Amino acid sequence: MIRYHKHKFNAQQATHDGIKFQSKKEGRYYLELKLRQKAKEVIFFLRQVPFDLPGNVRYWVDYQEFHADGTVHFVDVKGRRTPEYIMKKKMVENLYPITIEEV
């Protein structure tokens, strides 16, 4: 069952499999990942993976994906790139040996 709710930036929250998502776009990406998992392209994935930043700040990347080819991808589903997001993304990428992909 899918339900939608009002959210900041006019995004509508979505619910899939009993999980609440910040936007319909993020919910659709979750459903896509489940299909890619059934196709054995993605072995498994994690949602809302935390990264600690200086100043007791924590940043959550939307998805960490473990692919069948051995690669690991960090993915943020974005409708709008806010200045705060851009700053935190750069901080995470400077502190940790990862690149955050945006969809």
d(CA 53, CA 40): 33
Q: How far is CA 55 from CA 32, 45, 95, 100, in A?
A: 35, 28, 13, 21
Asked if residues 35 and 24 have their Cβ atoms less than 8 Å apart, the reply is no
Look at residue 5 in the predicted model and tell me its pLDDT.
47
Count of beta carbons in the 10 Å neighbourhood of residue 42: 19
Residue 2, pLDDT above cutoff 60: no
* CA atoms of 93 and 41, how far apart (whole Å): 25
pLDDT of residue 18: 86
Tally of domains within the chain: 1
* Average pLDDT over every residue of 54-63: 96
Q: Of 82, 79, 85, whose CA–CA distance to 59 is shortest? A: 85
pTM: 0.85
Q: Which residue has the higher pLDDT, 50 or 12?
A: 50
Which residue range(s) make up the domain with 15? Answer: 4-102
Domain with residue 98: its CATH number is 3.40.1350
* Dist CA 57 CA 15 (whole Å): 27
Select from 73, 79, 80, 71 the least CA-distant residue to 101. Answer: 73
Can you give the pLDDT at residue 17?
87
